[in-house]
Structure 1
Amino acid sequence: MVMFSVSHGELFRNGESIRISTNFLPSRHAPDHGVDLTYIPHHHDFFELVVILDGEGFHHIGETAHSVFRGDVFIIPPSVPHHFQASHLRLVNVMFRGNVLEPYEHELRQLPGFTALFTLEPRERLEGRRKGHLKLSGSRLEEVERLIHHLIREENSRAPGHSIMAAGLFFQLLTVLAREYQRLSTPEAHRILTISSVISALESQYPRRWTIKELCVRANLSPSTLRRHFIRAVGMPPLRYLAYLRVEKACELLTQTDLTMLEIAEKVGFQDSNYFARQFRRYKGLSPREFRRITRRGVSTRAP
């Protein structure tokens, strides 16, 4: 099977970070169309927010296929192979680069519904589970449709200040969807939101000296159950994920500031620079000093 790849450079114009389109399936585009690959297996290096407005069909993602219906909402992360199959399907794709979230990412990460929708539910979907997905109906779907249509109008108008208006509508849309996810009452959604609340707490208060007991109280779960659900959600236990978060934050400080190793260690939550160095090497494969030297030369480094 031919797999097409789409980069943000092919899609976003003039440095923009948000692009939105309405698609109807079956598509009228030829298979070799450069950008609109809705019904052709492809992947891309940006995020895609999908809202199903009408009809029904199948969404193939990775090695699995899920039925989709009016009101379904889900996120497709970068580098995930996917395509749609349907005889009648109307959907909206809001495509955006990860950096567009930066102005309000800290606030968004404090919403368990955001973490659930953007981080945990996509992983569940990719692994063949979808009972915890977001589905809108009635006035909720109408509200989201109105926001989307306003966003499309601003993007198409090219009027002065249209990018500011589009960004405002985009963040409003994300917040509405995060709140809606938090209203879900299915057992799977409840499980995802429970873990999301722990992740949100760790991400917003990563320097704090968290204990497993505190996290279990927050989640109302036993240590073994919390560990099992957490590993299923993010691939590692809670306190290891906390160390990972601290290392990621340390990377920013190493690159953007002249703080000493001890100052950075204390700022991100490590109690001494030696322990900080060991944890940093565990996740990045090199010492903090080496990381600073390499990144300041303009050479990127990636976690092993």
Structure 2
Amino acid sequence: MSSFTLHETMFFKGNNLPVKVLLRDPEIPFSLHNHDFYEIVVVVSGKGTHLSEQNKRQLQEGMVFCIRPGTIHGYADIENLVLYNLLIGKKAFSILYPEIKDVAGFHETFMQTEGEVPLVRLNSHQHAEIVALVSAIKEESEQQDYNRGSTSMTYSKLLQFLILVSRFHSARRGSAFQNDQRLEKVISYMEQNLDRSIPLNELVEISNMSASTLNRQFKLSTGWSPVDFHIHRRIAYASNLLLTTDLSIERISEKTGFSDANYFARQFRSHMQMSPRQYKQLWTTPKED
């Protein structure tokens, strides 16, 4: 399998702080490659396909995964995918490792054998906490005034990040962890049906779980009920249509399965904290210099 290698020297200047956070907004298709450092990916929003030598995995908001040195991977089928990439040099990882090696969930999440890429799925509350923490790591790591303790603070926040993700992963083991594949099947079905409302009994049949079990496991995994999560994904689809097409709000409402435009507007405001028209104006009106 053809690929190329990215090296630490491309990203880390000097040896003081081999940690860098990149915001990929948006991420673009990226051919198969590997690197000689660790890369931890946090999916902020959107969706796409992560490629590895073993498989293809669908990415969506709330996923976290670690690419170890030497692992070949890439991205394809990108749709408004926004990622945080935490690049960690081997030196930095070796400093952190003694502090975290015994934390439950750490080895399963970050230390799998070369080529294996475990996915951690965060619920909405965990996702918000992790995204805010990564943003803080980025800000701290970019400080040039090192006599303020920025290097130590970056390592401290990065250690906190690794522990939190490990804890979140560990907490989902057991019955919730065993149900991941069935939940992924349900979510994949939702993504294929963003043009209509899906009744709960239809999702129950897809999942092969009882309604109460599906609701409980889905909320544990995503922070949403199945029905609310599907509405959230339809609103995300509507947001994309608002920015990439000239369709009217009424037509977008229909294309995302909201037969009542007023109900669509209420749901949009609930999820996006603004009306569809305000959202379109915000992101399509040219900014003055």
TM-score normalised over the length of structure 2: 0.55
Task: Provide closer, same or farther for how the CA distance between residues 13 and 158 of structure 1 changes in structure 2, counting only shifts above 3 A.
Answer: same
Determine the structure 1 residue equivalent to 2:122.
Answer: 136
3-state secondary structure, aligned to 2:111 = helix
Alignment of 1:87-166 (within 5 A): 87-120=79-112, 124-125=116-117, 133-160=119-146, 161-166=149-154
Aligned to 2:167, the other structure's residue is in SS state helix
How far did 1:24 drift? 2.7
User: Cα RMSD between the aligned structures?
Assistant: 2.4
- Contact 2:52–2:115 (Cα < 8 Å) also in 1: no
Q: Give ranges in structure 1 of 5+ residues lacking alignment.
A: 28-37, 191-304
Match of 1:12 in 2: 12
Mapped partners of 2:98, 2:169: distance in 1: 18
2: CA distance, partners of 1:121 / 1:177: 18
* Superposition pairs of residues 19-38 of structure 1, within 5 angstroms: 19-25=20-26, 27=28
Q: Deviation of residue 98 (structure 1)?
A: 2.4
Aligned mates of 2:61, 2:87 — CA distance in 1: 19
Query: Which residue of the partner structure matches residue 261 of structure 1?
Result: none
**Can you list the C-alpha shifts for 1:256-303, whole angstroms capped at 9, x where unaligned?**
xxxxxxxxxxxxxxxxxxxxxxxxxxxxxxxxxxxxxxxxxxxxxxxx
Q: In the alignment, does 2:163 pair up with 1:175?
A: yes
The question of 1:73 aligning with 2:64 is answered: yes
Equivalent of 1:84 in 65, 75, 100: 75
Task: Verify the 8 A CA contact 2:120 2:169 in the aligned structure 1.
Answer: yes
* Paired residue secondary structure (1:120): coil
Cα pair 1:134 1:184 within 8 Å, conserved: no
Q: Answer yes or no: is 1:64 the counterpart of 2:50.
A: no
2:224 maps to none
- Please give the per-residue CA displacement for 1:82-135, whole angstroms capped at 9, x wherever unaligned: 11121210001101122213344233111121011012387554xxxx6xx311
Kindly state the Cα deviation for residue 25 of structure 1 after the two structures are TM-superposed: 3.7
The answer to whether the 8 A contact 1:75-1:122 is kept is no
Deviation at 1:3, TM superposition (A): 2.1
Residues 182-235 of structure 1 deviation map (CA, whole Å, 9 limit, x = unaligned):
111355947xxxxxxxxxxxxxxxxxxxxxxxxxxxxxxxxxxxxxxxxxxxxx
- In structure 1, C-alpha distance between the alignment counterparts of 2:158 and 2:130, rounded to whole Å: 11
Question: Is residue 28 of structure 2 the alignment partner of residue 42 of structure 1?
Answer: no
AA at the equivalent of 2:157: L
Report the CA distance shift for 1:56/1:149 in structure 2 as closer, same or farther (over 3 A). Answer: same
How far apart, CA to CA, are the structure 1 residues paired with 2:114 and 2:59? 14
Structure 1 counterpart of 2:5, one-letter code: S
Letter in 1 for 2:80: H
CA distance in 2, matches of 1:23, 1:122: 24
* Matched positions, count: 175
Q: Which runs of 5+ in 2 are unaligned?
A: 179-289
Paired position in structure 2 for 1:231: none
What secondary structure, in the 3-state scheme, does the structure 2 residue paired with 1:55 have? strand
Distance 1:145 1:21, change over 3 A: same
Query: Identity over aligned residues, as a percent?
Result: 21
Partners in 1 of 2:79 and 2:53 — Cα distance?
Answer: 21
Superposed displacement of residue 154, structure 1:
1.2
Is the partner of 1:41 in helix, strand or coil? Answer: strand
Query: Conserved in 2, the CA contact under 8 Å of 1:114 and 1:178?
Result: yes
